Structure 1
Amino acid sequence: MSLWEIFLLAVALGTDSFSLCVGLGMGKIKRKEIIALSLTVLVYHIVMPILGWFAGDLTGRFLGKVATYIGGAILIYLGYKMIRHGISQEEELPHVTYNLVGLLLIGLSVSMDALSVGFTLGTVKVNLWFVALITGIVAGVMTLSGLLLGRRVSKVLGERAQIVGGLILLLIAGKLIFRG
């Protein structure tokens, strides 16, 4: 694989995280949470291809389904809460990203494709560690970019941004749950 192909692969793997994080960024996410989530996704996108390389296809499919459904359920909950808060503006938004378990589950849910890629990297002559590092860095930057973009949009749209962000999260949850 050329460097260009590795970069394109990394961008493709980071798109789920980017789109999810635009929605999350429209909620009232703190700087500390932005950094924590970006680093979590970065680490997952380094580790998952390596695990995929060593793990069997059956294990990957099982973990993929479980993580996808858990991640989808979390996104439905977050989306609902954001929409409800945007409409009523009475209750406090949940900060799942601040919670360690929430961070890990969100990171896992957007990194399952990287696990699958790890399975296929075993068939291609490539430096796995280099590909995993590039994938992680690109996914981390895309996560950070999505969160910051969502935050900026939130400032422009005000409280309505939470409704938009909630709808984005619900759409992504639907994609996660119903795509496979």
Structure 2
Amino acid sequence: MDYATTQFGQLVTITVMSVALGMDAFSLSVGIGMKGVRRFDIARISGLIAIFHILMPLLGMFTGLYVGHLLGAIARYVSGGLLVLLGAHMVWASFREEGARPIDHTRLWGVVLFALSVSVDSFSVGVSLGMFRSSLLLTVLTFGFFGGLMSVVGLWLGSRVGRNLGDYGEALGGAILLAFGLMFIF
């Protein structure tokens, strides 16, 4: 029973973190969706975001395993600190007045840069999760699924709703990561 409880807790934690990281993709996708996107664009952008949300945490987890091995007992505090910093940065960035530079979602290079930019946070979270030795396959597939799903929802809603929705989504995602970081530290 204890093993099942631990596995369920890990699944819930990874799912909530995946949604929190997907909020970044969601918030920026709302802005792109406001420019108007076709179904093909939604599939292409979301597919690339899902791929990068798999690759970046995968690289981060391998890095985290190595760093966790080097740091030993203090890895928990370092990984929690990384989540706190990342969450605080996401909250702060969501309320800055500067607008993000728009990308050309009709060109492959623009979509690749966009997908990479919304997936960089996944690398940092992957480092933290690697130090905790969480399930590799479960983590990267969940991150990819929610990254892609949140971008589909953001692109679709962006074509129908205002930009403020995206700002609040990124702030919420940052607050969730900040809370997990504090939970890991304390």
| TM-score > 0.5, shorter chain as reference | yes
Q: 1:114 aligns with which of 122, 125, 135?
A: 122
- Helix, strand or coil at the partner of 2:41: helix
Alignment length, in residue pairs?
129
Q: Which residue, out of 34, 48, 51, partners 1:43?
A: 51
TM-score, scaled to structure 2: 0.61
Separation (CA, whole Å) in 2 of partners of 1:109 and 1:117: 14
Partner Cα distance (1:99, 1:40) in 2: 13
Contact 2:59 2:123 in 1 (8 A): yes
Instruction: Write the deviation string for residues 138-170 of structure 1: whole angstroms up to 9, x where unpaired.
Output: 1110000000001123xxxxxxxxxx65xx79x
**Partner residue of 2:100?**
75
1:90-109 to 2 correspondences below 5 Å: 96-109=104-117
Q: Is the contact between residue 63 and residue 130 of structure 2 (CA under 8 Å) also seen in structure 1?
A: no
1:146 and 2:154 aligned: yes
Within 1, Cα distance between the matches of 2:35 and 2:99? 14
Q: Does 1:131 align with 2:156?
A: no
What is the aligned-residue RMSD (CA, Å)? Answer: 2.8
**Cα drift, residue 55 of structure 1:** 4.0
Match of 1:6 among 14, 22, 26: 14
Percent identity reads 39
Partners in 1 of 2:48 and 2:58 — Cα distance? Answer: 16
Partner deviation per Cα, 1:48-74 (whole Å, 9 max, x = no partner): 1111123488xxxxxxxxxxxxxxx99
- Taking the aligned partners of 1:46 and 1:7, their CA distance within structure 2 comes to 14
Displacement of 1:45 in angstroms is 0.5
1:17 matched to which residue of 2? 25
C-alpha distance in 1 between matches for 2:61 and 2:124? 9
**TM-superposition CA deviations, 1:4-56 (whole Å, max 9, x none):** 11110101111111011111111121211111011111111011111112348
Matched AA of 2:100:
L
Structure 2 residue matching 1:97: 3-state secondary structure: coil
Q: Could you say what secondary structure the match of 2:36 adopts?
A: coil
Superposition pairs for residues 52-91 of structure 1, below 5 Å?
52-55=60-63, 75-76=100-101, 78=102
Partners in 2 of 1:128 and 1:50 — Cα distance?
Answer: 7
Say if 2:19 and 2:147, in contact at 8 Å, map to a contact too: yes
CA distance in 2 between counterparts of 1:108 and 1:45 reads 9
Aligned to 1:31: 39
Distance, in Å, in 2 between the alignment partners of 1:44 and 1:74 is: 23
Q: Note the residue ranges of structure 2 that are not aligned, 5 or more in a row.
A: 1-8, 68-97, 171-186
